[in-house]
Chain A
Amino acid sequence: MAMAIIFKAVNYTYQPNTPFEQQALENISAEIPTGSYTALIGHTGSGKSTFLQHLNGLLRPTSGVIHVGKQIITPETKNKQLGELRKHVGIVFQFPEAQLFEETVIKDIAFAPKNFGKTEEEAETIARRMAQQVGLDDELLSKSPFELSGGQMRRVAIAGILAMEPEILVLDEPTAGLDPQGRLEIMEMFKRLKEEQNLTVVLVTHQMDDVAKYADNVIVLEKGKQIASGTPSEIFAQPNWLVEHHLALPKAGEFALEFEKKTGYKFATLPLTEVSLARQIASLLHGGGVHHG
């Protein structure tokens, strides 16, 4: 099923008509194509979280229209109509281990599919499969989620969302607070899942390295407005613009810029990932010396 997400002139205001009124999204028109891996970047308070909560109808726009697949969300959409949408859009919130509550790990993972109409047995089968996907040992499944380590709890929470078998997977800083190894494992797992199941992934992150490495589409928000969108190489093409908006380059890109400054060499295209950086430098070493400028 095609599940493109289209925002048309979406505004969202918190507590409208009160002294605490605050406009969180301002005239956002964006498109997240089916099967894309879209990164949403911007500072704290730029409206990323508000944007995310529109994707499964937790928030409805104050004005404007959102299409998610066949579902249309307008300010008038009723809560009842959104149940179907939530089945298709899985959101892994920041620090999702805070949502664990069941007696056992397996029950917690099976919670969402049961809510969405699967029988007890079906839900458990899915839960076992998802536990395996995220790399949880079988012996953990009958334990209480509160006995696990932080990293394991994170995996349980993620498995709990994957168990909904969503077509759109929304990740809000899914690796925040994890060690580098856990970070890499989880990001690689999402990449694998996306390819295997042809998911649409929306990733909110401050890790520009992850943006460069995994995303094929980037949306940049600033103070509730969309200030840029495009492929990572388009977004990272202008270092000055990034500095102006307090955004960083991926580490490989920074290294490459520094390299250019020190050596006078100009890269044909600025490498953004370690792999492309290594390749370009390798071909440079093989192809000819560094030109001093």
Chain B
Amino acid sequence: MGKVLLGRYVPGDSIVHRMDPRAKLILSFFFIVIIFLANNWQSYVLLFALTIGSILAARVNFAFFIKGVRPLIWLILFTVLLQIFFSSGGTVFWRWGPFNLSYYGLINGAYVFCRFVLIIFMSTLLTLTTAPLAIADALEKLMMPLKKIKVPVYEISLMLSIALRFVPTLMDETAKIMNAQRSRGVNFGEGSIMQQIKAVVPLLVPLFVSSFNRAEDLATAMEARGYRGGEGRTKYRVHYWQTGDTAGCAVFVIVLIILLFLRHW
């Protein structure tokens, strides 16, 4: 079970860890947008420098990032191959039916690969350095203006926090029940499709039952502690926008300016 890295938080005490989650969230989105402005190798070098710089500042083991890419590698390769074989222009090296291997195709393929890797690295950096609940808090804060148009911001953020909070619990539970049923002679992931579907029932039913029980307990516990909706509720963890956050934003804006400059090189 422990193989899933997505959304895994590694506690630490670096500049990036201490940043306001709102800043990190905004900058991650910002980064994903500006990536699409990059159109030559100089701009990709710049974005790689920014990414590597952020990773170094976070002082997180680089192995995490490689691991983050690994589950998506087939999707990436598929997209890259599509780019390589279906875009035309420049010198054509090889042609076979609808496929052709051209200079532009190769370049585009390389760019798409870089884009994927950069986006994965940056979003991995966000989740590695920010506790899931901090991300939920940040989203709530950032969505606040939407309250004006009657979006149930508190409810959405509560649902998100609860969902995030119970992912590890649910995974533990799944592992436990799988072990129990394997001990009773169920073989998961073996046999015909029909047998495999049948094997899921002894896993899903207990998971549903325990999730419902847990939801009930949680509701009771929240009510017992006086939860009456999010309106007017104060936060235990208050995030403050600090100089570091402004500085981080400044760095990204400078990168954007250089990037716009490089585009028209």
Interface residues of A (CB under 8 A from B): 14-15, 18-20, 53, 56, 58, 79, 83, 86-87, 89-91, 93, 96, 98-101, 111-112, 115-116, 146, 160-161, 164
24 contacts between A and B (CB under 8 A): A14-B2, A15-B3, A20-B2, A58-B179, A58-B182, A58-B183, A83-B187, A86-B182, A89-B183, A91-B183, A93-B176, A99-B177, A99-B184, A101-B201, A101-B202, A101-B206, A111-B184, A115-B184, A115-B185, A116-B185, A160-B184, A161-B183, A164-B184, A164-B185
* Chain B hits for A160, CB < 8 A: 184
Please report the C-alpha to C-alpha distance between residue A79 and residue B206 in the assembled complex, in whole angstroms. Answer: 24
Please report the C-alpha to C-alpha distance between residue A134 and residue B21 in the assembled complex, in whole angstroms. Answer: 54
Closest A residue to B182 by beta carbon equals A58
- Contact, CB under 8 Å: A18 / B67: yes
Kindly identify which residue among B179, B185, B187 contacts A93, using a CB–CB cutoff of 8 Å. Answer: B179
* Chain A hits for B186, CB < 8 A: 115
- Contact, CB under 8 Å: B210 / A98: yes
Kindly identify which residue among B10, B64, B185, B206 contacts A99, using a CB–CB cutoff of 8 Å. Answer: B206
Query: From residue A266, how far is it (CB to closest CB) to chain B in Å?
Result: 47
Query: From residue A84, how far is it (CB to closest CB) to chain B in Å?
Result: 11
Please report the C-alpha to C-alpha distance between residue A93 and residue B176 in the assembled complex, in whole angstroms. Answer: 9
Query: From residue B227, how far is it (CB to closest CB) to chain A in Å?
Result: 27
Q: Which of B155-187 contact A (CB under 8 A)?
A: 173, 176-177, 179-187
Please report the C-alpha to C-alpha distance between residue A58 and residue B185 in the assembled complex, in whole angstroms. Answer: 11
Interface residues of B (CB under 8 A from A): 2-3, 10, 61, 63-64, 67, 173, 176-177, 179-187, 190, 201-202, 205-206, 209-210
Please report the C-alpha to C-alpha distance between residue A111 and residue B205 in the assembled complex, in whole angstroms. Answer: 14
Query: From residue A156, how far is it (CB to closest CB) to chain B in Å?
Result: 13
- Contact, CB under 8 Å: B180 / A98: yes
Kindly identify which residue among A19, A79, A101, A161 contacts B63, using a CB–CB cutoff of 8 Å. Answer: A19
Please report the C-alpha to C-alpha distance between residue A101 and residue B186 in the assembled complex, in whole angstroms. Answer: 13
Please report the C-alpha to C-alpha distance between residue A222 and residue B133 in the assembled complex, in whole angstroms. Answer: 34
Kindly identify which residue among B64, B180, B187, B202 contacts A96, using a CB–CB cutoff of 8 Å. Answer: B180
Please report the C-alpha to C-alpha distance between residue A58 and residue B210 in the assembled complex, in whole angstroms. Answer: 22
- Contact, CB under 8 Å: B201 / A56: no
* Chain A hits for B2, CB < 8 A: 14-15, 20
* Chain A hits for B64, CB < 8 A: 19
* Chain B hits for A111, CB < 8 A: 184-185, 202
* Chain B hits for A18, CB < 8 A: 63, 67
